[in-house]
Amino acid sequence: MSILVVGSVAFDDITSPSGSVKNILGGAATYFSLAASYFTQVRVVAVVGEDFGPEHETVFHKHGIDTRGIERANGKSFRWGGSYFDNLNEAKTDYTDLNVFERFQPRIPKEYQDTEFLFLANIQPTLQADVRRTMSGVRLTGCDTMNYWIKGTPKELAETLKLVNVLLINDTEAKMLAGETSLPRAARKVLTMGPQALVIKHGEYGATIFFGEGAYGVGSHPFRAPTLPIDEVKDPTGAGDSFAGGFMGYLASRKEVTRETLKRALFYGGVMGSFAVERFGTERLQGLSRDEIDARFQIFRELTHLT
Amino acid sequence: MSILVVGSVAFDDITSPSGSVKNILGGAATYFSLAASYFTQVRVVAVVGEDFGPEHETVFHKHGIDTRGIERANGKSFRWGGSYFDNLNEAKTDYTDLNVFERFQPRIPKEYQDTEFLFLANIQPTLQADVRRTMSGVRLTGCDTMNYWIKGTPKELAETLKLVNVLLINDTEAKMLAGETSLPRAARKVLTMGPQALVIKHGEYGATIFFGEGAYGVGSHPFRAPTLPIDEVKDPTGAGDSFAGGFMGYLASRKEVTRETLKRALFYGGVMGSFAVERFGTERLQGLSRDEIDARFQIFRELTHLT
């Protein structure tokens, strides 16, 4: 099974307590596709500028990622600079230069039309909805969003959410989207907006998946996956997108999407997020093996399972 | 097996988004002993004032809790007033009247001398150490502390920690105690200060137990237990003490303290904490059954375990 991600490919300048890097390959679609590539065939729709060279494309190709959907535009790629201080859960944005990303109009190559799994990374909600509508064969759509759209374009986002099967956001976003201070109440409310499952990411505390009533089999209990307590988080950038890549990639690799595969997907999401933060940028995600991934899955299991 | 808790018995005024109560029975030793009473025989050492009447003692006796160690002093009991706003993880203290608790000198009744499990609730560290030293038959000592002692009496606390097997504190306290911003690093450092196991409570995200090198069998992986996503947390007061009561009470009910019983104890801690917050004060803890507790343990398992 293949999966299509639509989102940003960018270059980042990042500073954290562990050091500083400049001009490294980043962007939601990059983290997502590298993480997902260990599970399934990945296709990318994004826009880059003239600064995106063959050496960058090679990063994708080494992982068998199909880059025919990466459009070249005149100008520079999306560039972001961010700093992390003691609280690694929150980045201070130093600058955001949208550049060619400002006029991003996702165009889905014909060869991508048969994709069955779709991930709408964090872009303007109307673009997300447009992509979903053009992809008639999609079986499962995952979606990310952020405070900026929740506050700025609530109506557009509401339309997008109706087209989405699984929404992946963090605690703050879930509470803001629902207008609730209690996370379980927020979750229940979001699940009436469209998605059949809601993944809430808790940063260093893992993630919880909440299921809509009757969705993916009976029972309404949520499910929680851990993260690995990591001594030195070098760079949290892309952790959420790597989580989404592991989560969606695993789902796309299974024959069926059931409650049980969604739970395992949540574990694989945590696993890929935990790898991502160990080094700056996508470095760790570029050099993994499936064995390493499964070994860490096993550690996650030992971390949470009673015998 | 029996367990002795040394700490406060108090009266609280509490306001939360769910309402407001006045003059209700509280205090760390109260929450702890009620939670632990579902697992084992509990003994209490505390001091109360003349406002502590037979109706309050009955609350303990109904649970078979031995109150011979509760000393009566002239004056009023410890009184605390606190308010919770949207962030239920943090109380705003409205007032603290130590009253008779200010001169608390724990006296261990002779009949308690054979107690094998000891919990030192959050009191001045030198008092904690004194209690531990007078209890020669103790097999396992659990201990709580808080920022006030970590900052104010670090030397005294360091001496106490040398006498402790399991320390139960929250994220902020662990980081402050170790002078570290990374939780896993903080945990490793605290584990060189005396305790063989460290339980870090993450509020609504559960708790993690870290093991000292070689302590309780081989392997160094930590273990994480969830909490229940609860729609309406009515009153978070005493959640940590109820957690400690479930954790220590379960341990005291087992023949041996092993890594596996410590993991299960972490689950039972979460279970008792999750009950405590469902109603104001100790109301929920007063009216439970062991069946309800085990049913929730099962829910915690389903919340975290893959099939």
What residue type is A97 in one-letter code? D
Task: List the single residue in B with minimal CA-CA distance to A89.
Answer: B182
Percent of chain B with pLDDT over 90: 91
The residue-averaged pLDDT of A216-243 equals 88
* A267/B contact by beta carbon, under 8 A: yes
pLDDT band at A1; cut points 50, 70, 90? confident
C-alpha dist (Å) from residue B64 to A65, B36, B41, B58, B251: 65, 11, 7, 10, 18
Q: Which residues contact B287 (CB under 8 A, 6 or more apart)?
A: none
Better pLDDT: A284 or A85: A284
Note whether A306 contacts B264, CB cutoff 8 Å: yes
Instruction: Return the structure tokens found at B253.
Output: 């009910």
Question: What single DSSP character describes residue A211?
Answer: E
Asked whether residue A117 carries a pLDDT value surpassing 70, the answer given is yes
Task: State the average pLDDT over residues A70-97.
Answer: 93
Residue A279: which pLDDT band, with cuts at 50, 70 and 90? very high
Residues of chain B positioned with their CB less than 8 A from the CB of A260? 306-307
**CB-based contact (8 Å) between B80 and chain A?**
no
Chain A closest CA to B199's CA: distance in Å? 13
Q: How far apart are the first and last CA of chain A?
A: 34
Mean pLDDT of A258-271: 96
Residue of B nearest to A226 (CA): B224
- Name every chain B residue with its beta carbon within 8 A of the beta carbon of A221: 299, 302-303
* Cβ distance of B304 and A223 shorter than 8 Å: yes
pLDDT of residue B89 exceeding 80:
no
pLDDT at B49: 98
Whether B220 has a pLDDT exceeding 90, the answer reads no
- Indicate yes or no: CB of A224 within 8 angstroms of CB of B307: no
Give the mean pLDDT of chain A.
95
| CA atoms within a 13 Å half-sphere pointing along the CA-CB vector of B148 | 6
pLDDT at A88: 80
- The ipTM, to two decimals, is 0.91
pLDDT the model gives residue A214: 79
Q: How many residues does chain A have?
A: 307
pLDDT band at A224 (very low <50, low <70, confident <90, very high): very high
Which chain B residues are closer than 8 Å to A206 by Cβ? 205, 224
Shortest CA gap B181–chain A (Å):
6
Pick from A161, A169, A122: which is nearest to A10 by CA? A122
B218 contacts chain A (CB < 8 A) = no
Q: For residue A35, which of A201, A281, A202 has the smallest C-alpha distance?
A: A281
Cα–Cα distance for residue pair B283/B306, rounded to 1 Å: 34
Report CA B38 to chain centroid distance, whole Å: 15
Given pLDDT bands bounded at 50, 70 and 90, which one contains residue A87? confident
B307 chain-A contacts, CB cut-off 8 A: 260
Contact state of A183 with B204 under an 8 Å Cβ cutoff: yes
The string of pLDDT tens digits covering residues A38-82 is 999 999 999 999 999 999 999 999 999 999 999 999 999 999 999
pLDDT higher than 70, residue B236: yes
Q: Any idea what DSSP says for residue B110?
A: G
How far apart CA A13 and CA A83 sit, in angstroms, is: 8
Using the Cβ of A176 and the Cβ atoms of chain B, whether some distance falls under 8 Å is answered with: no
Burial of A76 (0-12, 13-18, 19+ CB in 10 A): middle
Query: Can you give the pLDDT at residue B104?
Result: 96
pLDDT of residue A218: 63
User: What is the pLDDT confidence band of residue B218, given thresholds at 50, 70 and 90?
Assistant: low
Contacts of residue B99, Cβ cutoff 8 Å, sequence gap at least 6: B49, B75, B76, B77, B78, B79
Q: Which long-range contacts (CB under 8 A, 24 or more apart) does A54-59 make?
A: A56/A25, A59/A25, A59/A30, A59/A34, A59/A282, A59/A286
Structure tokens at B273: 């904490």
> Given an 8 Å threshold on Cβ–Cβ distance, is B307 in contact with A260?
yes
Q: In this model, does residue A219 exceed pLDDT 80?
A: no
